[in-house]
Structure 1
Amino acid sequence: MPLVSGAEVVLGAAKDGRGVGAFNVIQLEHATALIAGAEQLGAPVILQISENAVKYHGSLKPIAVAMLAAAAAAEVPVVVHLDHAMDRDLVTEAVSLGFTSVMYDASKLDYADNVAATTEVTNFCHDHGVFVEAEIGEVGGKDGVHAPGARTKPEEALAFAEATGVDALAVAVGSSHAMTERTAELDFDLIAALRAAVPVPLVLHGSSGVADADLTRAVEAGMTKVNIATHLNNVFTATVRQVLNDQPNLVDTRKYLGPARTAVATEVTRLLTLLKAV
């Protein structure tokens, strides 16, 4: 199955009332694990790389080329997505490399500037056939729209979507980034109100902090794209730690990265099932 557009996967899922798992890539092992987990279920999947991960690698192209190659060889539909990009040049580079989806994050700007910047990026991406996600929320929050306590107003979300022409919208409904405990309390009534008001698919960021049952309930209430990163990093790291604890003299990286990759793939299959991805 070739690399596919964000529109094909996200809009299709929204129409059918399914969720789409969007999982972050740091190393190549993440990309291959995410695809393996999706293939096990026969579900589409979104591979994401964040601006912070790009900074970790020093540049976008090497890890991006690897992700795109893995996606092209997959047996399920795979979207390659730039996550939380605030750098306009990075958006341009991702599009030139062949990414099929971009999330431009201008949520730290005030509303008018967010609209203006997002509209400009959206027009550029659409000219190149690239799906665009954006974010709306509180100004000044530590995590932008996903600061604890932040909530998106349906009427503002509608106005923003219509003004910018974005294809999907990340909204604040009770989750927060980088949670290591799954204790987030989602506002399901707000999700339903946003779904009723906003004409584009909704995106839930910070989903690592959301319990299993609430992931399913969020999709049923109206969420489509569900981003999960920290939770899978926990699975990966815990497996590496266990293998090295059991075999303290181990030096072959394949011997501990391989089990971690397998553990992540297994968890991805489970998460995609919760998200009703098929």
Structure 2
Amino acid sequence: MIGNSLKTAALLGLLSGLLVLAGYYLVGDERGLYAGLAIAAFTSFSSWFYSDKAALAAFQAQPLPQEEAPDLYERVARLSDRAGIPTPNIYIVRNESPNAFATGRDPNHAAVAVTQGILDLLSPEELEGVLAHELVHVRNRDTLTQAVAGTIAGALTFLGRILTFGALYFPVSRNDRRGGNPLAILFLVILAPLSATLIQLAISRTREFAADAGAAEITEHPLALATALEKLERVGHQIPMNGNPALSPLLIINPLSKEGLQSLFRTHPSTEARIERLKQLAEKLQTPALVSQTAS
């Protein structure tokens, strides 16, 4: 867990550094550094404060009345207690695509959203595995990490697409030479957004494995989550999940194709790899029981 946290912090720092460097290349002097720092600070604060509202709005999630799903509320409350966090608000996405996500800047301001499709598809035990996975994201503050990473990556892409156009017509160097600096343009248009995307994906993949392991610990049934992921992978690609693609790291299953070059830009580890790790965790949980039975 500590190793994952350090890796995530380093990747977030690298993302912020790319944004500062982009500002420097755009302006051509120290003012660009200050501009990059200001943009990084502003985007981080905005994503910290508004991440939950943005995610819920993007997927058109609505508050789920407790009387409509009392069993779901009971499960979330029980699993939240096991995870050691307050019970989050529960939202429903009226979409037949089976998926779920958590959002919020901290455990006291968190929400868990499930689609109608996932409620119809999974068994109670499988649904508990999914809910536990999302609650671990809340406990680990992954929801905030992903929001900050996505916002900074989006800011870099914005600089590359919008501000570089101005660099073609306004001074971008210390001697006020008009016209674009080819290296700066290359960095802003291609290298910075691509690097930011890859870093964002690396953060997401790291956190997914940790959330799977945490869910297995909370429920003590890792195979239930494994079978849930298998169902979600099979059905999820048949029914698209509408929403902002930039927020796809929040979802429990990546809605993008896993074939060809798109596999490089998957926001999650492969479902096969996640299932294999959960099976290994199940074996570890069974081993002490087998040992105690042998001893008796």
Same fold? TM cut 0.5? no
Structure holding more strand per residue = 1
TM-score by length of 1: 0.27
Q: Which has the larger radius of gyration?
A: 2
TM-score by length of 2: 0.25
